Amino acid sequence: MIKRLPELVIMCILLAVMPAACAAPEEDTVSDAGGAVSRQSVETDGNTEEEIIEMKMTINDTPVEVTWEDNASVKALAEMTADGPVTIATEPYGGFEQVGSIGETLPSSDTNIKTKAGDIMLYTGSQMVIFYGSNSWAYTRLGRITDKSDSELKEMLSGNGVTVTITAE
């Protein structure tokens, strides 16, 4: 009997711990969705629901379709749009991109990337870069314009500075 005492103690401990490990997750846990959305908890009629914030982008008042990345940078940008439109005044740089301050520093995870026309990148955590050419540098990918050809992007972006507006839909 004394030889079995350690086994009985271990079994009692496991039985005591098991119900806590098998408990259902807390109901207010929210998981974020990918792409162009951010989720926020909203209480309506006593029930907690998730409100999806979708983002739309315009360049000089021309709507462009964007496929947004699923990362912390895009989620932070989506949260900014919940407070109203985010307007970014950009300037041409290097003959292949438009660059402008977002107004806040977003989380970033820069990696060396070779860009192409239509890519939307975060540079130094606070600058949005929209490409109409290509470049290689360390960026965090935000998204990609999907409804414009390379020549349309060059026409839209290669002149003077442009105004980029991102809104929650």
Amino acid in the structure at residue 13 = I
Total number of domains in the chain? 1
Q: Using CA atoms, how far apart are residues 47 and 119, in angstroms rounded to an integer?
A: 39
Amino acid in the structure at residue 145 = I
Given this model, what pLDDT does residue 69 score?
96
What's the pLDDT tens digit per position in 93-133?
Answer: 999 999 999 999 999 999 999 999 999 999 999 999 999 99
Token pair belonging to 145: 């314009």
pTM of the model: 0.70
For residue 89, being part of any structural domain is answered with: yes
> What percentage of the chain carries pLDDT values higher than 70?
69
List the CATH number of the domain containing 86: 2.40.100.20
Domain of residue 102: give its range.
54-168
What's the pLDDT tens digit per position in 40-82?
Answer: 443 444 544 444 458 999 999 999 999 999 999 999 999 999 9
Token pair belonging to 77: 């940008």
Given this model, what pLDDT does residue 23 score?
38
For residue 19, being part of any structural domain is answered with: no
Question: How many distinct helices (H) and strands (E) make up the chain?
Answer: 3, 12
